[in-house]
Chain A
């Protein structure tokens, strides 16, 4: 049954999985002490960012089954509020980002109350138009948002944390901050999945009408899912603005942003914890290498005069979204349950083979 195989097995928790997760996090935390090349750090930060985005979308898209293609709205609000609080009001980002999250959650309540009355394709269209409305408004109301000119970050103040001074220069502080945020997001996602809330979300995904008849308040729980999702997406947006140091309406609110967020979850496998992580691991290195192949030279994978670098620079760096497009088409046609679905199918096939080789022939 395809619908059942899609849902995770949330009962109880696996000690092995948690141990593996903590070990990976720890390994990533000590990683910069060995490899500190800026390109590797950059890749790491982008990877963490994508994981946060994918996990955040997963709450509303994967568990609750509401395919929002307008998450750029929350990402952009996160980026803009954090940036404007810093640049205009001189509020440091570690306080400002809470304002951004608050704004995004408030926005999600408004958007949710409008769009969740719609289902299926109508919901998708409504979510896109809301993000477009915000993008166009940001472009138009120049006095408030600086319009197409965007915001350039001047300087992040020094953070005094437990007597230590953290200066946000270079990529390393962002690597640690991103790692911490990604771990926190995954933990939160896990908590949601294993709570009553998570069961409600999944019930809504599988059959709205059945969930409703069981007494689940549809619009309330869809809104809760969206609020959680919006909060983490805004977090990602604020973090992105501080890391990249420049935002404009298209970077923050563009349709591409929404599509990429959905792709991270889809390509990995929606409705699971590990799915967005896999999706990020597939998409981020691919798009980063295509965007800046010189980095591979810096790391030493390719020699500077290698033909690959010039080929990518000349033909592919302008069109890294082409690869996204091809990936989506391939995934939808051949692996609609994402990379994770393929892995599961291969594992199941292997198990069947082993079982068939055992004493009794397996029943069909």
Chain B
């Protein structure tokens, strides 16, 4: 009986850690899904935007000693501007091109970003250690990692603010209208071009925020992005491309799945399990858990 209870406790512990991790995944997924929803462009540079967020946070932390979560106030606007710039200069030109060309363009932009960082900072692994990096709270016998908890809380706040923005403000409605039907939105007098720039900026800012939030718990290196790019796709397809609620759920599910797979299968195989699930999902329900099936 005690063994059974112990097992249940462990299961809850793994699930909780996964859930906290999943919060950040949700943030990455939401950014990608907004970009896809508005532009119908699959952004293969998403993980690299996250990587830029990590480096920005690390740089601010080592130069000024500013806490990574406070540094968000700088990293988020920076990444927003960078994303808006990418949209205005590059992505806007391929909105009507073949999807494979859009994919290749974003892959190219990602390569440029990761390799530029390699030129500047070399490929050394950087670590950002805060005073609370390895401390944890005790919650009803479960241990809760402090950095993960903080990042989860910040994620929840950002997500809530985003929902409010998209639902309640005119600009937010313009974004949702453009995502629903680009041409109709244009006919209604929405500045579709400006909305696209704004959306890519927001998507990029969310990726940057996610990067800042995981900076205290991850190694920081130029190629860190590609794993997150693929994971972001898994999350977004899981929730249904273009669905923000879906991406939030998808992020949490992937977080828990990874954590459980690491515990019960093998830690080296947690991502493999996620990709296998992804393939299964693509085959049997490509519209995602919440998505409407497209004929």
Contact = CB atoms under 8 A, between A and B. Distances in A.
Interface stretch (A97-105, A122-130, A238-246, A353-361): A122-130
Contacts of A274: none
Q: Interface size for chain B: under 10, 10 to 19, 20 to 34, or 35 or more residues?
A: 35 or more
A316 B272 CA distance: 33
Contacts of A336: 97-98, 101
Contacts of A132: 230, 271-272, 275
B173 interface: no
Contacts of A130: 275, 279
A167 interface: no
A326 B93 CA distance: 16
A325 B279 contact: no
B275 A129 contact: yes
A132 to B, nearest CB: 6
Interface in A123-173: 124-126, 128-130, 132-133, 136-137, 139-140
Interface stretch (B10-18, B63-71, B103-111, B195-203): B103-111
Contact of B122 (A69, A140, A318, A326): A318
Contacts, number: 113
Nearest to B94: A332
B269 interface: yes
Given A322-B112, A322-B116, A328-B104, A139 B97 contact: no
Contacts of B101: 332, 336
A215 interface: no
A257 B276 CA distance: 21
Contacts of B99: 120-121
A329 interface: yes
Contacts of B275: 129-130, 132-133, 136
B42 A121 contact: yes
A177 interface: no
B90 interface: yes
B233 interface: yes
B177 to A, nearest CB: 23
A133 B282 contact: no
Interface in A47-76: 67, 69
A64 to B, nearest CB: 13
Given A140-B266, A328-B108, A333-B94, A128 B272 contact: no
Nearest first, the 8 closest Cβ-Cβ pairs linking A and B are A325-B111, A328-B108, A322-B115, A325-B112, A319-B115, A140-B268, A329-B108, A136-B272
Given A136-B268, A329-B108, 6 more contacts: A129-B278, A132-B230, A133-B279, A259-B111, A319-B116, A328-B108
15 contacts: A121-B103, A122-B237, A122-B286, A132-B271, A137-B269, A259-B111, A319-B119, A322-B119, A324-B111, A325-B112, A325-B115, A326-B112, A327-B108, A332-B105, A336-B101
Interface of B: 42, 90, 93-94, 97-101, 103-105, 107-112, 114-116, 118-119, 122-123, 226, 230, 233-234, 237, 266, 268-269, 271-272, 275-276, 278-279, 282-283, 286
